[in-house]
Structure formats: C-alpha cells, structure tokens
Chain A
Amino acid sequence: MMSPIKILSVDDEAPMESMMKQFFRRKIRSGEYEFYFARNGVKALEILKDTPDIEIILLDINMPEMDGLTMLAKVNEMQNPALRVIMVSAYGDLANIRQAMNNGAFDFVMKPINLADLSMTIEKAIEQINYVHESQKEHSQLESLKKDLTMARDIQQYFLPQMFPPFPEDSDRLDIYASMEAAKDIGGDFYDFFRIDDDHIAFVIGDVCGKGIPAALFMAVSRTIIRSKGAQYGTAGACMTESNRLLEGYSADCMFVTVFYAIYNTKTGFVTYANAGHNPPHLLRNDGTVEELPRSTNMMLGVFDMAAFEEDSLQLEPGDTLVMFTDGVTEAMNPEGEEFGTGRLQTTLGGLVGKSSQQIIGGVRDAIKDFADGAEQSDDITMLVVKRK
C-alpha cells in the first residue's frame, strides 16, 4: 500500500481544520491523505521538524507570530525538492500572492476556499511530487550503476598481471613491463603473459571494440579463452584460430577484439607471433632504430569463425625491445584534436633506447601526457614492453 501524502494546513482560522477533515474525509479514511494542522508559522515549523516527510503545505498568508511569506522563506531553506506549498490568501491580495509565487510557491487558492478547486490543486501538486520521487529514484539508481561500473573497472584491473618481474627465474635475460591507464569510461583493453613451457613465454595485448560493460565482459572472456588456448596450442596461429572460433560464438552484435599474440623463446630471443587485426607493435633496436612490424592480413577475433591466422616471426637480439600497445597510445589527442600518432611514438621510442621496459613505458606515457596538454583521455592507454637482456 502506498504511504499517505502528508499535508500540513497552516491557518489561524479555527474552522479550517474541521472543514478540511470533513471535505477530505474519504481520502483520509482510505489512507491517501494524512492531515496536520497548525495555527501559525512557528507551530508549523515545529511540526515540519518532527514530520519531515510532509510534502504539501497549505499556507495562509495573514497569520499572527509568523506570516505565510516568512514561513515560505523558512520552508525554502529546508531545500526539500518534493515539497509543494499552496498559498491560501484573502481575495484580491495579489501583491502577496505574486511575491509568494516568485519565492517558489507551487500555486494559490483564495478565500473563501472553493474546496473542489483546492482538491484539484492538491492532486496537481501530488503529480509533481511523484515525478520528483521518480527522478530521485532514477538518480539513485544511476549512482548505484556508477558504483557498479567503478567496481567493474577494479575487477577488470585484477585480470591484468600486476607483479613485476612476472618471471623472476628469467629476469637475467628478459625485462617485461606493462601498464593499462584506464579512460573515464570502462573499456576493453587488456594485456597478459604466461609461461607455455620452460623456454617459451606468451605475450598478449588486446583491445575490444567499444566501451562500457559489454566491452569489459568481452575482454574478460577473450583474455580467458586466449590464455586457455595458448596453453593448449603451442603456436601463435593455432591459438588465434581456436580463440577466434570460440569467441565468434560469444560475439553478440558483432563484438570483436584485436589481439597481438607472441610466443617468445627465452633462450634464443626468437619470437613467433600472430597479429589478429591489432595495430602493429614497434621494435626498438639496440642501436636506437625503430621499426613498425609489417602489417598482417589477419582479421580481428570474433567476426568470422572460419578465419585462419597466419604467423610471422622476428629475432630479438640482446638490447632489442618489442613495444606492444593499443590505439589509445597513437590516438591520444591534444586540445586541438590532433593525434599523438605513430611518428611521435617512434621519435619518443628512439629517445628511450637503453632504458628498461618500465622506463620506456614511463617515457611514452610522459610524452603522451605532454602532448595531450590536459585534454581528456578518451581511450585506455595500454602498453606491454618486452626487452631481451
């Protein structure tokens, strides 16, 4: 059952109370309305203090001790957005009515009160009050949704390995660092690395299309599938082919993920990889030259289940670094709407030769930050850097 609308009638004329009770008796009996009565503003404020859920006030203008306009000002101070004040005034008291309306009164009725008219005015006020309650409810739902999104983003961060060095037993020949700087809206970037066998470590960087909860969910599924298929299939091409086949089944509304998947031989520095529609990583050679890996003809994952994924390979010599990243790096914008771009990335990387993987990521992030010059980050900025020692 709905709780009653609480109405406070403030009037110094004694007959008002019995008149209201008589006219609205059915509504009172059925529990729709609950009336409170006060003879002056001071008493009315006490009642309001004790019963803060009163939402309609019928307020006489001319009263002893505290007049209606002063009381209206006090009511406004309470800042209850659902509260509606209906002024009750002597016939022809237009100046006071105008002032009350300017000060936020909802409506007015004139004495002698036409009770049918008052009833309609109260109904109208209730409609507005219900609307305010609805909006407040939606607002709190929105707040709770925002909290959920923040939690989802935290959970998403837990999916990403945070412990560095991830393979301490290989620290003397391999330097790995990664970071994901999340944009304001939850996105679908991820990175991952895991050991396949004694001599091989897999590296993954991915970017799910779009943003929000669908992207975050698809990211979680993608990462899990790639990890399990990576452990099962020893080659990058087979891992991508199998992951694609499975992901296509989960891809509602043509969701997709671009992935760069590499298998690194810790003994020889030889890398085999399959690029599934991801922007090509860069290779920072020990002599300071920077190369973009060749484009692949492979497609992103999750689109066509029959797609086959070709492999490529490269050799990392000691001091060489493989820099994998998502398009949040190259598409970071400055206030003029220019993109950071591949050129600036390559120049930045060239200046970071000899640095550790963590320093390289820090250097690129600083360069992006300087370039963005305070412009809002619209996409996740994710990097995974692998350096052969």
Chain B
Amino acid sequence: MEKDYEVIKDGSVLTVVLGEELTRINAPALMDEVTSYMDQGVEKVVFDATKLTFLSSSGVRVIIFCKKYLSTNSNIVFLNCDDKILDVLDIVGIRPFITFEKR
C-alpha cells in the first residue's frame, strides 16, 4: 500500500498527518516510523485527523505507543477529529488523555 501519512518533527512536536484510514494495513509502518523518534526529545504528538474516517484497533495501538514510549508521558493532541473517530477513542477509554483541537 502506498504511504498515506506523513510524520514531521518540529522541535519537540511530532506531527503525524493521517490519511483516510489507520488500520492494520498501514499502522505497522507508521508504528515503525514513530519508533524512530524515541528518545529524540518529543514532548507532544499531534495527530492531524482532518482526513481520517476510520480508525481500527491497530491504529489505536500507535496512539498508545506514542503516549507510553515516545517520551515520558507525551502530550497527545488530535486535530480536527470527527465524531466517529472520537467515538472509537471514547469506547476504548483513551479519550481522557487526548486533547482535541479544531483548526
């Protein structure tokens, strides 16, 4: 599958611009990519979910990984998250540790 996301590091902020879906098809590659930013001074991870319409459990793993391992307790931000994605984050119980922003 063609890579449909982009990872940009700017200082201590890592921005992950997501494509339309984050599933077991593309989540492992994204996981590998974000892993390479371990111990690189990332304090905040911004998931730009403007285009995201489907988030599977494999995608949720990437978010947890960023929260747990990218640095000590990184800040997780979701940008332009639609209700369906919010619903998934809510059900699995990780909504409380995510900040939601609209731009």
Contact = CB atoms under 8 A, between A and B. Distances in A.
Interface of A: 207-211, 253-256, 258, 276-280, 295-300, 303-304
Contacts of B56: 209
A280 B92 CA distance: 10
A229 B17 CA distance: 41
B80 to A, nearest CB: 22
A103 B16 CA distance: 53
A71 to B, nearest CB: 46
Interface residues of B, number: 18
A107 to B, nearest CB: 37
A180 B64 CA distance: 28
B34 to A, nearest CB: 11
B32 to A, nearest CB: 10
Interface in B40-65: 56-58, 60-62, 64-65
5 contacts: A210-B61, A256-B92, A258-B91, A276-B93, A300-B93
A210 B65 contact: no
Contact of B65 (A254, A277, A280, A299): A254
Given A208-B57, A277-B94, A280-B91, 20 more contacts: A207-B57, A209-B57, A209-B60, A209-B61, A254-B61, A254-B64, A254-B69, A256-B57, A256-B60, A256-B61, A258-B57, A258-B92, A276-B93, A277-B92, A277-B93, A295-B91, A296-B93, A299-B92, A303-B94, A304-B68
Closest 7 CB pairs of A and B: A299-B93, A209-B57, A277-B92, A277-B93, A254-B64, A254-B61, A254-B65
B90 interface: yes
A294 to B, nearest CB: 12
Interface string B76-92: 00000000000000111
Contacts of B57: 207-210, 256, 258
B64 A256 contact: yes
A258 B58 CA distance: 13
B24 interface: yes
B87 to A, nearest CB: 9
B20 to A, nearest CB: 11
A256 B57 CA distance: 9
Nearest to A302: B64
Interface of B: 24, 31, 56-58, 60-62, 64-65, 68-69, 90-94, 96
A379 to B, nearest CB: 9
A277 B31 CA distance: 22
B1 to A, nearest CB: 15
A297 B96 contact: yes
Contacts of B65: 253-254
Contact of A298 (B58, B61, B62, B93): B93
A299 B98 CA distance: 13
Contact of A279 (B31, B58, B62, B91): B91
Contacts of A296: 93
B54 to A, nearest CB: 9
Contacts of A304: 68
Contacts of B61: 209-210, 253-256
Contact of B91 (A208, A209, A210, A278): A278
Contacts of A253: 31, 61, 65
A78 to B, nearest CB: 39
Contacts of B24: 210-211
Contacts of A297: 93, 96
Nearest to A299: B93
A303 B91 contact: no
B92 A254 contact: no
Contacts of A279: 91
B93 A254 contact: no
A276 B93 CA distance: 8
A299 B91 contact: no
A6 to B, nearest CB: 43
A137 to B, nearest CB: 26
Contacts of B91: 258, 277-280, 295
Contacts of B68: 254, 303-304
